[in-house]
Amino acid sequence: MSSTADVVIIGGGVIGASVAYHLAARGQKRIVVLDRTQGPGLGSTGRATGGFRGQFSTRVNVQLSLLARDKLTAFRDETGTDPGYRPCGYLFLASNADQLAALRTAAAFQQAAGLRDVREVTPDEVVDLNPAVPRDAVIGGTYCPTDGFIRPLEILRGYLAAAQRLGARVQFGAGWARCLVEHGRVTAVRTETETVATRCVVNAAGAWAGAVAAEAGVEIPVRPVRRQVAVTYPAALLPEEMPLTIFVDDGFHLRVRDGRVLLLWPADLPADDPFDTAFDARWLTPLLDRARAHVPVLRGLQIDRDACWAGLYEMSADRHAVLGQAPGVQGLYLANGSSGHGVMHAPALGHLTAEFVLDGTATTVDVHALRPERFAEGALNPESGVL
Ligand SMILES: Cc1cc2nc3c(=O)[nH]c(=O)nc-3n(C[C@H](O)[C@H](O)[C@H](O)COP(=O)(O)OP(=O)(O)OC[C@H]3O[C@@H](n4cnc5c(N)ncnc54)[C@H](O)[C@@H]3O)c2cc1C
């Protein structure tokens, strides 16, 4: 089967959906979204826990969050769907002076970048915000009340439905889509069943973005990294509106969702297949050691192993998104590498990608720091050990 389109988006996760919606909302016609899975949410978006934060350590990430926050606030009016944004806050906790100094520096920096309501908190305030944290376990932290929670699948469905109402074609079950390039210019996208002639392709392939770009002759350092979530049986031990609480010591963090406590801790999980999303139960032992040490009240809680899950982060070489025109291939745009922040930033990344496609550059936020060329230039964004 052959057809033509003005824009083809490879990937129907939250980022591809947001790109489709923002293009369609600006009047772009003949948009096609192609996804190899059988339905929405079968990539990383359906595995996300739904955290939202502005507390980042680089200006560009803070500003992506601020734009996303504005758009989440207007989401229901724009799309007709409730994105589930609940500003319950993120609480970062320090257990020594170095960590607290780093959080303090980050908070000052975030305020200067426009995140006005972030503030330092004392141990007493920490316990007020989250009574599960032992008073003597921390020396302070930072808290931002407009950070909080969102519903990843609702955001995905809202953007897809709104894009479709505006005329976009969304094709799940399309098989692997490959971007074809001739003489340095995009010419078509080919799947197992159809070829769509086009001059414009957006790579929104999540953890698979590196492979999609490579097929078009573009190298981007985005790789899959497995992340896991442990889930307790339902318990009323901790309140649903408790802030997401992060111990910067080791990155252990927890929140409550739908009456269950979700426990997370980033650890290297070796696997033969880097795209493996099987839950590795060996991770539970060190995770639970941390959980009991940081939050003793969790000692009696049992893990519901059937409810635990794993998924893939789309990790870029500097843990920042890769956004804009692909170097060397005219008509190929990248919206990749969000490094585990793709749901919260999707409203902003879709808006900015539409600007790249329709205006030639993004203007709402200065995203120079996210340009794909930075890797070849050796101008990576700074890594923070804290945020
Ligand atoms: C455990 C876990 C917790 C997380 N928690 C959060 C959180 O709290 N907050 C947050 O913001 N983010 C979180 N994330 C990260 C978030 O899930 C991702 O950043 C986000 O979903 C990326 O969206 P995406 O649309 O790029 O990717 P995806 O949702 O994976 O969508 C990409 C789609 O592209 C399709 N595809 C790929 N290649 C092709 C191809 N060649 N042809 C056709 N289709 C293709 C895939 O099938 C997939 O459906 C979490 C992730 C994990 C794993």
pLDDT tens readout for residues 194-250? 999 999 999 999 999 999 999 999 999 999 999 999 999 998 889 999 999 999 999
- The predicted structure's pLDDT at residue 385: 62
To which H or E segment does residue 186 belong? strand 185-190
Of ligand 1's listed atoms, the one at least distance from the Cα of 339 is: 19
- The predicted structure's pLDDT at residue 387: 65
Report whether pLDDT(384) > 80: no
Question: How far apart (Å, rounded) are the C-alpha atoms in residues 360 and 366?
Answer: 14
- The predicted structure's pLDDT at residue 237: 87
- The predicted structure's pLDDT at residue 270: 87
- The predicted structure's pLDDT at residue 386: 64
- The predicted structure's pLDDT at residue 383: 76
Name the residue ranges covered by the structural domains of the chain. Answer: 2-53+152-221+317-377, 87-146+224-315
Q: What is the CATH number of domain 87-146+224-315?
A: 3.30.9.10
Which residue owns the Cα nearest ligand 1 atom 44?
35
Distance 236 CA to ligand 1 centre (A): 30
Report whether pLDDT(284) > 80: yes
Report whether pLDDT(263) > 90: yes
Distance 313 CA to ligand 1 centre (A): 7
Q: What is the mean pLDDT of residues 250-260?
A: 96
pLDDT in tens, 344-362: 999 999 999 999 999 999 9
Of 1.10.1040.10, 3.30.1370.60, 3.50.50.60, 3.10.20.30, the CATH number of 2-53+152-221+317-377 is 3.50.50.60
Report whether pLDDT(292) > 70: yes
Give the mutation target among 44, 157, 344 for probing the ligand 1 site: most ligand atoms within 8 A of CB.
44
At residue 193, the 3 state secondary structure works out as coil
Ligand 1 proximal residues by C-beta, below 6 Å: 10-16, 34-37, 42-45, 47-51, 174, 176-177, 204-208, 212, 227, 229, 311-314, 338, 340-344
Distance 201 CA to ligand 1 centre (A): 18
Report whether pLDDT(370) > 80: yes
Distance 31 CA to ligand 1 centre (A): 20
Contacts 24+ apart (CB under 8 A), 82-86: 82/151, 82/154, 82/158, 83/150, 83/151, 83/154, 83/155, 83/158, 84/50, 84/149, 84/150, 84/151, 84/154, 84/155, 85/52, 85/148, 85/149, 85/150, 86/148, 86/149, 86/150, 86/241
Question: How far apart (Å, rounded) are the C-alpha atoms in residues 187 and 41?
Answer: 28
- The predicted structure's pLDDT at residue 80: 98
Write out the two tokens for 109.
């920096």
CA angle 54, 341, 189 (to 5 degrees): 135
Question: How far apart (Å, rounded) are the C-alpha atoms in residues 178 and 211?
Answer: 9
Distance 324 CA to ligand 1 centre (A): 18
Question: Whose structure tokens read 């929405």?
Answer: 40
Q: What is the mean pLDDT of residues 238-264?
A: 96
Q: What is the mean pLDDT of residues 153-171?
A: 98
Of ligand 1's listed atoms, the one at least distance from the Cα of 345 is: 11
Write out the two tokens for 21.
């919606």
Give the mutation target among 18, 45, 196 for probing the ligand 1 site: most ligand atoms within 8 A of CB.
45
- Locate all alpha helices (DSSP H) within 132-283, ordered by sequence: 152-165, 209-215
pLDDT in tens, 28-78: 999 999 999 999 999 999 999 999 999 999 999 999 999 999 999 999 999
User: What is the rounded average pLDDT for all residues in the chain?
Assistant: 97
pTM for the predicted model, two decimal places: 0.98
Question: How far apart (Å, rounded) are the C-alpha atoms in residues 288 and 264?
Answer: 10
Question: How far apart (Å, rounded) are the C-alpha atoms in residues 88 and 318?
Answer: 28
